[in-house]
Copies of this chain bind each other. A is one copy, B any other.
Amino acid sequence: MTNPHALHNPLHIASAYLSAWNELDAVRRRTMIAAVFTADAAYADPMACSAGHEALDGMIGAVQQQFEGLRFRLHGKQDGHHDVVRFSWALAADGAEPVAYGTDVALIAEDGRIRSVTGFLDVMAP
């Protein structure tokens, strides 16, 4: 996927990224992961780390099982500069209060895909 404009659109990047996290259909999710992440993209948050489409897909599938019925949504504003974007998210069941909030920092490759994500937890429900 070549998308030279994505670098300047943190909202677009963040939305596509969270859509991949929320996609429950395995085939569609895999396609979205390939569209969103470079082949060797790396991910790290306080609880997990992985690299490459297959490992990312496995990690996202495991998180979906762990937090069944919950979905990620954008929270607050997105920003970015140079080759980096920052955005915050909430994890919640439809119509319910979020159980967690976090902020992710993503490095963007020249083709507009994410080459690394560093995730942080901002608030976790007790």
Q: How many positions in chain A have a CB within 8 Å of any CB in the partner chain?
A: 13
In angstroms, Cα B9 to Cα A61, docked, is 32
Whether B45 pairs with A118 at a CB distance below 8 angstroms is no
Contact of A84 among B81, B84, B118 (CB under 8 A): B118
Q: Is the interface of A mostly helix, strand, loop or mixed?
A: strand
Interface centre among A49, A81, A84 (most CB of B within 10 A): A81
What are the residues of chain B within 8 A of A118 when measuring CB–CB? Answer: 84, 105
A-B pairs with beta carbons under 8 Å apart, 14 shown: A44-B81, A44-B82, A44-B84, A45-B81, A46-B79, A46-B81, A49-B82, A79-B120, A79-B121, A81-B120, A84-B118, A86-B120, A105-B105, A105-B118
